[in-house]
Amino acid sequence: MENNKEQMAEEREFEGANDNVAEQNAAETANPSADSATESEKSANELADMKDKYVRLYSDFENFRRRTSKEKLEYIKSANEEMMVALLPVLDDFERALKFSGNASDDNTAREGLQIVYNKFFKTLEQKGLKPMEAKGQPFNADLHEAITQIPAPSEDLKGKVVDDVEKGYFLNDKVIRFAKVVIGS
């Protein structure tokens, strides 16, 4: 009998504890607005932060994409620059050969053949974007010309201007790839 009394007392305590837990749960569910309001505000703030981060990341990516496509176009435009620079001495040799072959009047056919080859070679380079720089008679410009020497100007109007170009300068798609080596009048 004592066991029965003890069991009954334990059951009453257990039921009382369950009632307390049930009352606490009921109290929490009766006042959910305070907790849920702070949780919804937190969620809204987190959502706003995430949206802001997304927009910033998207705009950074778009800027990166535009910048790289612009750089890619620039690389394509100047891809032949090394080849052009390597071929410029050949072009210079052609010009010198034409200049000195003009003195030999007995062999006009050799000069004509050389002129045809030069013209064809130069036209091919022009199609790829090469343009010669006109320096003679122009005012000296350090962005385009490299001064080799200065000589007394033959006339007053040639002071500070290019008197002679020792080596032609060239542009590739409006970019200087070789500066003109010039003599300046002083």
Q: What is the pLDDT of residues 41-69, one digit of tens each?
A: 999 999 999 999 999 999 999 999 999 99
Residue 160 confidence (pLDDT):
85
Residue 118 confidence (pLDDT):
86
Q: Indicate the residue type of 184.
A: I
Contact yes or no for 176/169 (Cβ under 8 A): yes
Distance CA 158, CA 78 (A): 35
Q: In angstroms, how far is the first alpha carbon of the chain from the final one?
A: 132
Displacement of CA 137 from its chain's centroid (Å): 36
Q: DSSP state, 122?
A: H
CATH topology of domain 78-185: Nucleotide Exchange Factor Grpe; Chain A, domain 2 (2.30.22)
Which of 9-13, 62-66, 86-90 has maximum average pLDDT?
62-66
- pLDDT band with cut points at 50, 70 and 90 for residue 91: confident
Task: Name the region of 127 (left: φ>0; alpha: ψ -120 to 50; beta: rest).
Answer: alpha
On the CB side of 50, CA atoms within 13 Å amount to 6
Higher model confidence: residue 64 or residue 37?
64
Q: What residues does each domain of the chain span?
A: 2-75, 78-185
Higher model confidence: residue 88 or residue 100?
88
Higher model confidence: residue 81 or residue 67?
67
Q: Which of 19-23, 56-60, 98-102, 172-176 has the lowest mean pLDDT?
A: 19-23
Q: What are phi and psi of 33, to 5 degrees?
A: -65, -35
Residue 97 confidence (pLDDT):
77
Across the range 96-116, mean pLDDT stands at 73
Residue 52 confidence (pLDDT):
95
The residues facing 185 across adjacent strands are 151, 159
Instruction: Go through the chain and tell me how many residues it has.
Output: 186
The residues facing 164 across adjacent strands are 183
Distances (CA, A) of 179 to 112, 134, 148, 167, 174: 30, 11, 11, 8, 13
Residue 103 confidence (pLDDT):
63
Q: Indicate the residue type of 4.
A: N
